[in-house]
Amino acid sequence: MAKPVSDSEKTPQHVAIIMDGNGRWAKQHKLPRLSGHEAGRKSVKKVVQAAIAHGVRYLTLYAFSVENWQRPREEVQGLMGLLRLVLREELAEMGREGVRLRAIGRLHDLPEAVREELESAIEKTRANTKLDLILALSYGSRVEITEAVKAIAQHVKTGQLDPESIDEKTLTDHLYTRGIPDPDLLIRTSGEMRVSNFMLWQISYAEIHVTPVLWPDFGKEQFAEALADYARRERRFGGV
């Protein structure tokens, strides 16, 4: 029997989503791939609203990976254009809903115009406290960890840090996600059973929910379903 999602103790504080399947959705509908990404935009809106309704505090969305730069130029440009448009058009709504926008990833890789729009939205929503919406953009977990290690090594080199004092928190504090609790629930749409270089350190003990539903078909019901699945899990963290 499914436990009700209203059980607040069983509501994940942080949900992370690998939004996959836009291309396959477009193919199913005999549309160009970019139409799939455009359709995925509605799912983002629905999921943000659902997360707020369920009392989720952090929502991380994997929107563009470091590996995604290898896609055809046309698709990359289309995605960047869409991102810029969404940031601009959704800003007022984020304000109304109490959403604080944040971003993780190699943000300096993004085209100037996108970065400006992103930084402006981050700045303008900084005081909102209902939901932290964290966009993973040009994000790669291995590069994130590598950069963290490099920064830590620098601190050791300059004598600010004793190597003996390095612990898990040292690393955690040097990741893009510093200050953000680890995801409790990781959702991947479109049925792929892989993590694709996403938050490898942070998902150590996340519960994983994979649904065959393609991202543009994912909405409030599917989100509630994932939360219900999570509520039924017994998290043991290695204990008994």
Nearest of 105, 91, 112 to residue 61 by alpha carbon: 105
Residues 45-74 that bind ligand IPE (CB under 6 A): 62-65, 67-68
Find out whether 77 and 41 touch, Cβ atoms under 8 Å. no
What backbone phi and psi angles, to 5 degrees, belong to 47? Answer: -70, -35
Among 21, 78, 105, 140, binds ligand IPE (CB under 6 A): 21
Rounded distance between C-alpha atoms, residue 153 and residue 97, angstroms: 41
Residue nearest to ligand IPE (CB): 23
Whether 173 is a known active-site residue: answer: no
Residue span 175-214 as binding mask against ligand IPE, x where in contact by CB under 6 A, dash where not: ---------------x-x-x-x------------------
Closer by beta carbon to ligand IPE, 46 or else 155: 46
User: Where along the sequence are the contacts to Mg ion (CB under 5 A)?
Assistant: 20
- Check binding of 24 to ligand IPE (CB under 6 A): yes
Catalytic residue among 7, 68, 109, 132: 68
Number of C-beta neighbours around residue 198 at 10 A: 21
**Can you list the positions of beta strands (E) in the chain?**
14-18, 58-65, 99-104, 131-139, 185-188, 207-210
| DSSP code for 6 | T
Whether 128 is a known active-site residue: answer: no
- Check binding of 106 to ligand IPE (CB under 6 A): no
Find out whether 170 and 148 touch, Cβ atoms under 8 Å. no
Rounded distance between C-alpha atoms, residue 5 and residue 130, angstroms: 18
Nearest-approach distance from CB 71 to Mg ion, in angstroms? 10
Nearest-approach distance from CB 81 to ligand IPE, in angstroms? 13
- Check binding of 172 to ligand IPE (CB under 6 A): no
Number of C-beta neighbours around residue 75 at 10 A: 15
Q: In the complex, which residues of this chain contact ligand IPE (CB under 6 A)?
A: 18-24, 62-65, 67-68, 79, 190, 192, 194, 196
Which residues does the annotation mark as catalytic?
A: 20, 68
